Structure 1
Amino acid sequence: MNKGTVKFFNDLKGFGFIKEANSEQEYFVHVSGLMNDIRQNDEVTFDLQEGKRGLNAVNVQLV
């Protein structure tokens, strides 16, 4: 399980980005990968899964 912070999330479009803790890496997140509703600056845990354009955050949960 990875930890990070929600950098951006657009509720209307259903996607955003999570910045991983302890690195500069950012991952795409789609509403289908959420376990809870998230907002910008929320602390979350997540798994990574290969998507069409690279790694995506999935199983995203609030800390």
Structure 2
Amino acid sequence: MITGTVKFYNDQKGYGFIRPDDGSKDVFVHATALERAGIRGLAEGQKVTFDTAEDRRTGKVAVNNIQPA
């Protein structure tokens, strides 16, 4: 799993971005990933661990499995 910090998350819009600790490109996170993990929301600066997966429709990489760190 990858460790990172929540850069931005908008509860109303249902998406945000996480900055991986290894300095790689920010990763998109959607509300559905939080729902699958049983998480109600994310706060800016919150530490998390996550896996990524490629979206079959768009081909973009997004958070797939997320947990508070």
Give TM-score scaled by structure 2 length: 0.83
If you compute each CA radius of gyration, which structure gives the higher value, 1 or 2? 2
More helix by share: 2
- Hey, which bits of structure 1, 4+ residues long, moved more than 3 A? none
Distance in 2 (CA, whole Å) between partners of 1:46 and 1:7 is: 14
- Higher strand proportion, which one? 1
Alpha-carbon distance change, 24 to 40 in structure 1, aligned in 2, over 3 angstroms: same
Count residues in correspondence.
63
Structure 2 counterpart SS, 1:33: helix
Matched, 1:40 2:44: yes
RMSD: 1.1
Q: Give the fraction of aligned pairs with identical amino acids, expressed as a percent.
A: 38
